[in-house]
Amino acid sequence: MAGVIVHMILGLVLMIFIFSTQDSEERKKKLKIKALEDIKSGKRITTFNINSAR
């Protein structure tokens, strides 16, 4: 019986870990998209912008 309880707890921890990594990946994607939009609009200065301006 104790093995079943331990197994369930490990399963829950694993599920929480997987969901948290998925959330962080989605957040990274959103930040990348926002950064690209900022670069296109000229809000964010990058080395690429500086090199293309020369």
Q: CA neighbours within 13 Å on the CB side: how many for 46?
A: 13
Q: Where are the domains of the chain?
A: 24-54
Q: What are phi and psi of 46, to 5 degrees?
A: -125, 170
pLDDT of residue 2: 83
* Mean pLDDT confidence for 33-37: 84
Of 7-11, 13-17, 41-45, 47-51, the one with minimum mean pLDDT is: 47-51
**Assessment of whether the complete model's pTM goes beyond 0.75:** no
Q: Are 44 and 35 in contact (CB under 8 A)?
A: yes
Q: CA neighbours within 13 Å on the CB side: how many for 17?
A: 6
Model confidence at 41: pLDDT above 80: no
